[in-house]
Amino acid sequence: MRILLAAVLFVFITALVVCMILSLRSKKSIGRYVACLISGVIPPIVGNLILMLSTNHTISMLGFYIYFLGMDATVYSLLRFSYAYCEIKPPKWLKRIPDILIISDVFLYALNPILHVSFSAKKIMVDAHAYYKLVPYAGQTYHRVIAYGIFLAVVIVFLTKAIKTPKIYSEKYWVILFSSVVAGALETYYIFSKITLDISMLAFGIFGILVYYFALHYRPMKLLDKMLSGIASDMPDALYFFDTSGKCIWMNEPGRLLIGTLPNDYDGVRDNLTFLFGNIDFESGGWSKKQTLGTGDEAQYTNLLMRTLTDDDGKATGTYLSIRDVTDEQNEMKREMYNSTHDSLTGFYTKEYLYEAIEKRLRSDTDTDYMIGYMEISNFKVINDVFGKRFGELTIKKAAEFIMEGVSSKCLYGRLSEDAFGILIDKEDFNSKPVDEKISGFTVSDKDLEHHVLIHYGIYDITEGEEIDVPLFFDSARLATAKIADSYQTLIVYYDDKIRNEIIHEQLISNQLHEAIETNQIRPFLQPIVDGKGILVGAEALVRWVHPDDGLKPPGTFIPIFERNGLIALVDKHMWKCACDILSNWKERGIEQFISINISPKDFYFMDVVSELKKIVEESGIDPVKLRVEITESVMMTDAIDIVKIIGDLREYGFIVEMDDFGSGYSSLNMLKDIPVDVLKIDMQFLRDSERNLKAGYIIKNIIRMSEDLGIDTLTEGVETAAQFERLFDMGCKLYQGYYFSKPLPVDEFEKQWFD
């Protein structure tokens, strides 16, 4: 019996050593705790083995020491292991207690050979064999208390963890708890039963091996199984599993619903699938296909995927088929596609999509003669501002309807921008006369509001064999339209040589601008501004281009071009600088008069007007009050810039702000309450009307009076006759400007005439 037990213990020791080495090599962080624990478990077993085989007192004493100190190591490393395994972090002070207890116990054992406080050994005879039995003293009781105490702590740790953890995960805690309790119980039995052979050592060995397995190799297969089948069941895709013979062995709920069979009725699965999807290759895995069931709005889009399942050795264990319903995605994609290619308001193609479609058509259909049409709603922003956004949208919709009604089946059309449409016109079908008539009668009405909307139509005739460049075609049609932008008579315009030459001309003078500014070909002329007594109070700086070839160019010949391409900012900055230079020169000569400069509405888009003006004034060292700033009325109506803030900033800095061309647009006096200007420049057009039209004269009178009330000075420009001057004077106008006093003059002439 003794020999057999010894042999078994020896086998355990060997197995534990192997486990310990493997644990050390493990990549898992728990590995070293396992190794420590096993290295703690081995000594008690070795100690017992020695005790079992020894017949000598000294060797037996050695066995006891190994046994007891090993027990200390075992419980201590078990506690550390339990912390790591159960993933708990006790406070530091709590961790210290077992350290102190174990050290004190080791200390007692160290003193035992001299003081005999722990134990000694007594020879007894078992089955005619000499055997040394333990004689415990007080120190040994202390050892047991410590060992049991720590063991109890371990049991508590595992028990709480196992209870707190969800059932499917707690298996690994229960196993270790159970086996450690069994080992502990057997040990207790050995201690108290006084039997000579410590069979609990067998439990120790088993415990060590269990720990090694559960901590390092255990995979909760039941859990994995549950999780995987849970995932498969919860998948929105229909799933079918087939064994190697091709028989269906499982399907999830969506799979069942798709083919409409009873739960667990796997026999008809293949036939049902074949019925729905036609021939399906159940035999080979590794294929996928898209398939549509039904047609039209009812259509159901699916993705089928067949895969082979293999075991670890790569042997096929079956196949599975997944069927995903992608109808929503497909519809969403179609919707997105539609939205990205169609304008939401009109349902028309977007610009990009139209360009693409036209290009395709022009390349594929070379037999038809096509033209490109660019249709623009004039003053659309004004319509929006004055009649409201709703009316603006209605206008766009009506224009879209108008296009749809008028075009032939071969036409393509789309919305190019907020206020413009593009059309590919079949030349044969297009007759400009009726179109012109229809456009000129285009009105939009909403309830009791009716408005005649001005539409311009630019056409680019594509010549045969011309290189296809859709954006360029539209650019040309648009440029042609721009040429008639203000006309109420001409509504349809063809891009022709004249327009082409004009465009070339525009490019030419744009290229010349830089040099023209540097060499002062671009320079201000001054037109006097006088008060009621005809005394000079200031001048307006009006740009002139003294061109080496073309002679004196008035602003009307180049300002609109530079406003279109943004070069206006260069012209205006230059003009402002010139005005400041003149003012600085006047300052030196003691001349008190001011100069008004013009700001183009487009300047606000191309530069920070306020800081630019400040910079120029600072550099020239003049008083900002001498530089008056003219902002046209039309700027006040655009939402894109915060004109109230800009005017506020300008006035705060000391500029006097004038509203230019008042009355030319659709502004109302009402607006003046919100926009804080110092001077109102009444447009000369207004004045001219007033001669013919008494009513207009009455309006001017009122404007002047109301401005007075608001503390705003009025300046009338375009005064040409003494009669006009007198009438305006009677109406209470403060300042005057016009040919009656003087035309705009070159600076030196102006100075000669007014200062000498």
Q: Which of residues 590-609 bind Ca ion (CB under 5 A)?
A: 598
Round to whole Å and give the CA distance between 395 and 383. Answer: 9
47, 139, 285, 744: which one contacts ligand C2E (CB under 6 A)?
744
Q: Which range touches Ca ion (CB under 5 A), out of 73-81, 336-344, 451-459, 661-669? A: 661-669
- Looking at residue 237, the DSSP 8-state letter turns out to be S
Q: Amino acid identity of 636?
A: M
Binding status of residue 660 toward Ca ion by CB under 5 A:
yes
Binding status of residue 739 toward ligand C2E by CB under 6 A:
yes
Taking the complex as a whole, the smallest distance from the CB of residue 600 to ligand C2E amounts, in Å, to 3
Taking the complex as a whole, the smallest distance from the CB of residue 738 to Ca ion amounts, in Å, to 11
Residue 177 burial (C-beta neighbours within 10 Å; 0-12, 13-18, 19+): buried
What's the token pair of residue 621? Answer: 């060292």
Measured from the CB atom, is 37 or 567 closer to ligand C2E?
A: 567
Measured from the CB atom, is 346 or 632 closer to ligand C2E?
A: 632
Measured from the CB atom, is 107 or 739 closer to ligand C2E?
A: 739
Q: Which of residues 549-608 bind ligand C2E (CB under 6 A)?
A: 554-556, 559, 568, 572, 575, 598, 600
Q: Which range touches Ca ion (CB under 5 A), out of 16-24, 104-112, 232-240, 659-667? A: 659-667
Q: Which of residues 632-671 bind ligand C2E (CB under 6 A)?
A: 660-661
> At 520, is the secondary structure helix, strand, or coil?
coil
Residue 381 burial (C-beta neighbours within 10 Å; 0-12, 13-18, 19+): middle
Specify which residues 460 forms β-bridges with: 372
Q: Which range touches ligand C2E (CB under 6 A), out of 175-183, 364-372, 641-649, 735-743? A: 735-743
Task: Evaluate whether 277 touches 355 at the Cβ level (below 8 Å).
Answer: no
Measured from the CB atom, is 435 or 575 closer to ligand C2E?
A: 575
Q: Which range touches ligand C2E (CB under 6 A), out of 35-43, 181-189, 690-698, 713-721? A: 713-721
What's the token pair of residue 222? Answer: 């039941």
Q: Which range touches ligand C2E (CB under 6 A), out of 278-286, 407-415, 493-501, 732-740? A: 732-740
Binding status of residue 716 toward ligand C2E by CB under 6 A:
no
> At 155, is the secondary structure helix, strand, or coil?
helix
Taking the complex as a whole, the smallest distance from the CB of residue 427 to ligand C2E amounts, in Å, to 40
Task: Evaluate whether 519 touches 508 at the Cβ level (below 8 Å).
Answer: no
630, 656, 657, 745: which one contacts Ca ion (CB under 5 A)?
630
Handedness of CA 71, 74, 80, 86 (dihedral sign): negative
Q: Amino acid identity of 340?
A: S
What's the token pair of residue 57? Answer: 């007192």
Measured from the CB atom, is 610 or 679 closer to Ca ion?
A: 679
Q: How many CB atoms lie within 10 A of CB 74?
A: 27
Residue 560 burial (C-beta neighbours within 10 Å; 0-12, 13-18, 19+): middle
Taking the complex as a whole, the smallest distance from the CB of residue 333 to Ca ion amounts, in Å, to 55
Round to whole Å and give the CA distance between 568 and 607. Answer: 10
Measured from the CB atom, is 563 or 630 closer to Ca ion?
A: 630
* Sequence-ordered list of residues with C-beta below 8 angstroms from that of 261, at least 6 positions apart, any chain: 268, 269, 272
Helix (H) or strand (E) holding 597: strand 594-599
356, 475, 649, 720: which one contacts ligand C2E (CB under 6 A)?
720
Binding status of residue 728 toward ligand C2E by CB under 6 A:
no
Taking the complex as a whole, the smallest distance from the CB of residue 696 to ligand C2E amounts, in Å, to 17
439, 542, 582, 747: which one contacts ligand C2E (CB under 6 A)?
542
* Sequence-ordered list of residues with C-beta below 8 angstroms from that of 413, at least 6 positions apart, any chain: 348, 349, 354, 403, 404, 407, 421, 422, 423, 424
Q: Which range touches Ca ion (CB under 5 A), out of 115-123, 179-187, 606-614, 623-631? A: 623-631
Round to whole Å and give the CA distance between 46 and 70. Answer: 9
Chain residues that interact with ligand C2E, rule: CB under 6 A: 527, 542-543, 554-556, 559, 568, 572, 575, 598, 600, 660-661, 684, 717-720, 737-739, 744
Give residues in contact with Ca ion (CB under 5 A).
598, 630, 660-661
